[in-house]
Chain A
Amino acid sequence: MALREDRVTMAHGGGGKAMRDLIAEVFAAVFQPPGMEDQARLMTEALQVPGARLALTTDSFVVAPMEFPGGDIGKIAVCGTVNDLAVGGARPLWLAAAFIIEEGTEIALLRRIAASMQREAEAAGVRIVTGDTKVVERGKGDGVFVTTTGVGVIAPGLDLRAEAIRPGDVAIVNGVLGDHGATILAARGDMALSTAIESDCAALGHLMQGVLAACPDLRAARDATRGGLASALNELAAAAGVGVVLEEDVLPLRAEVRGVCEILGLDPLYLANEGRLVVFVPEAAAEAVLAAMRAHPEGAGACVIGRAVADHPGMVVMRTPFGGTRIVDMLVGEQLPRIC
């Protein structure tokens, strides 16, 4: 073991031996990239099919606390980028991972993050093939920031896009909403809330492939991350020029998540998810898609939540159990807890 220190020092970012040791021991030994050149050199048969396309996406991850019930920043960094590829119809293949590490960060924490990333990558069928580290002075960062860039392949003829959504299409989610956001709120410990909720953080590549197999004319899919389901639906409605009607009494929400939201005055539709997506499918395919989702553990709670309509284009509306309706808008800033 060349790495002696317990914590990251500025030397680990200095370009010398300390940095090499950190990268080799903490990251490369775990990820086992195909080479240690500055670039990964990649080939896949899927790309040689005429009409196949490359998909490329990138996302940066910051979360406090870095470890929480049901996951950690490493798991989110893999799942988030895998999911961004998956909802575009791509089969996720490779990831690059870059770490901005604050001086003083425990090396044991970095090891746990790396192990978690590798575990998640294997489960999702992707490889972490290249990466980078930078060290910033204490106070200039917040523990560890992770950026992952993902590459995948889209099969010929597949073209998921919001514009394809038609009035009458059915909206389906793969499980209960808001678990991740509620977990993070509770884990911050500010409210002395103790809950048994765990983050929903999960890679959805396999689930999406199953959905596509069951419904080749799937219209569009979106992962409901920051801003929650409400933001994902608003983006889709605006891009498609359709209205969306949700039914409040069928929205899948855990009692604990409802409870956290009641106490803090938050709306669960805006809570972040890290393993939830919403798809729009032709009505005739709804049952097949539900069955395909439920065949995966991360789709066990799949259900229909509403549909696209010709009325109020660009607007998401929720029907309450009383027959009233209300607009489910884009979030302006972040959700702020209320006074009383």
Chain B
Amino acid sequence: MKYASEFRDPKAARALLAEIAATCDRIGATRDKPVHIMEICGGHTHAIFRYGLDRLTHPGIEFIHGPGCPVCVLPMARVDECVELAERPEVIFCTFGDAMRVPGHRKSLLQAKAAGADIRMVYSPLDALEIARRNPAREVVFFGLGFETTTPSTALSIQAAAREGLGNFSVFCNHITVPEPIKALLDDPDMVLDGFVGPGHVSMVIGTHPYDFIARDYGKPIVVAGFEPTDLLQSVLMVLRQIEAGRAEVENQYARVVPEHGNPVSLAAIADVYERRPSFEWRGLGEIDASGLRIRDAYRAFDAEAKFGIGYGAAQGRTVVPEAEGCACGAVMTGRMKPTACPQFGKGCTPDMPLGALMVSSEGACAAYWQYGGARGVAAR
């Protein structure tokens, strides 16, 4: 991993921090009048805390943590639907490990597994495909979850299942897209956002142009960023320089990985298998138009919602259920509330006894605050 270590060079980081501080001073950013920069991706949130960047950067920078954690943005009803699917006796339910501890109304997948549901943790949808091949008498459902980063691999597994005629494989599709919720946040008059750090791994697939509207229509700078500490610091500096120069552009800090037009093979697989849903429910944001993907009719046989009549495929329509009492995940996820401002943080909601997904997902903002201790001083332990 020499590739990573050069992006963790403390000397380079110190130079960037000094440059950030100088720019903040020039544009008059202070603790009381900070520049609000949203890092959209939960991976970025964790990197910021893991390396202590929140405390090392100039006090005139305020990081607002965005909705880019795929597990966190799932409404609780969706977790319930997973549990319902997993509890069907004929089903082997395959999921990424991340989603196991997220609480549903009745139980989490981890609890459902302990109660006898056949739930398997996999590292890739291709593993689920293999399980389906080996268990022809069982229905294998893969929990398709994530932004554009993971969507292509699920699409490829559905294409493979179709080629092989693997009738016992289906995907419970919860794939979502990044640009639409950002637009929803920018349309919210309560949100104060001065610039964005964009999710690099998503842009590896979709390129940088889907963010053009942020600069063009809303006049905000966005810099697509890598995940190492110097990547993040350089991206913050690039946002500040745009603000200083009065520019609003889409810039690519992560050019070593992100091509301007994305990955054509992945994009073709996505277009072949999925189409946009009219709308999709997000925790804390509600239904957002065209923000989710569903499986096209041509691949309907592999769509778990259609196959089992669940979720958006339920005949009587989807049941919308409220989030847990006192859970402020929605406000935290949209950057309206800091994790530590949630009255439940560290009290009614801890990693051992989570109330909401943000405390247990590996990319959740609350998990970052808890794990890296940014706020443990004020939390009751």
Contact surface of A with B, Cβ cutoff 8 Å: 190-191, 255, 258-259, 262, 264-265, 315, 317, 320-327, 329, 332-333, 336-340
Report whether B1 and A324 are in contact in the complex, using a CB–CB cutoff of 8 Å. Answer: no
Residues of A within 8 A of B245 (CB): none
A327 touches which of B14, B150, B229, B371 (Cβ 8 Å): B371
| Closest B residue by C-beta to A319 | B52
The answer, yes or no, to whether B4 is at the interface (CB within 8 Å) is: yes
The answer, yes or no, to whether B284 is at the interface (CB within 8 Å) is: no
- Across the A-B interface, how many residue pairs have beta carbons closer than 8 Å? 92
Residues of B within 8 A of A332 (CB): 101, 351-352
The answer, yes or no, to whether B50 is at the interface (CB within 8 Å) is: yes
Known: A327-B372, A332-B352. A338 touches B4 (CB 8 A): no
Known: A326-B372, A333-B101, A340-B146. A190 touches B122 (CB 8 A): yes
DSSP majority for the A interface? loop
What is the interface size of chain B, counting residues whose CB is below 8 A from a CB of the partner? 44
- Measured CA separation A329–B229 after assembly (Å): 21
- Measured CA separation A327–B374 after assembly (Å): 8
The answer, yes or no, to whether B110 is at the interface (CB within 8 Å) is: yes
- Measured CA separation A259–B4 after assembly (Å): 9
Report whether B372 and A191 are in contact in the complex, using a CB–CB cutoff of 8 Å. Answer: no
Residues of B within 8 A of A321 (CB): 8, 10
Residues of A within 8 A of B149 (CB): 339-340
- Measured CA separation A128–B162 after assembly (Å): 56
- Measured CA separation A329–B376 after assembly (Å): 11
The answer, yes or no, to whether B355 is at the interface (CB within 8 Å) is: no
Contact surface of B with A, Cβ cutoff 8 Å: 1-2, 4, 8, 10, 13-14, 43, 49-53, 55-56, 70-71, 96-101, 110, 121-123, 127, 145-147, 149-150, 201, 229, 351-352, 362-363, 370-373, 376
A338 touches which of B13, B14, B110, B362 (Cβ 8 Å): B362
B101 touches which of A336, A337, A340 (Cβ 8 Å): A336
Some 21 contacts from A to B, beta carbons below 8 A apart, are A258-B4, A320-B51, A321-B10, A322-B51, A322-B229, A323-B52, A324-B56, A325-B373, A326-B49, A327-B376, A329-B371, A332-B352, A336-B97, A336-B121, A338-B98, A338-B363, A339-B70, A339-B96, A339-B150, A340-B146, A340-B201
Report whether A191 and B229 are in contact in the complex, using a CB–CB cutoff of 8 Å. Answer: no
| Closest A residue by C-beta to B4 | A262
Residues of A within 8 A of B351 (CB): 332
Report whether A255 and B1 are in contact in the complex, using a CB–CB cutoff of 8 Å. Answer: yes
Report whether A336 and B52 are in contact in the complex, using a CB–CB cutoff of 8 Å. Answer: no
| Closest A residue by C-beta to B370 | A329
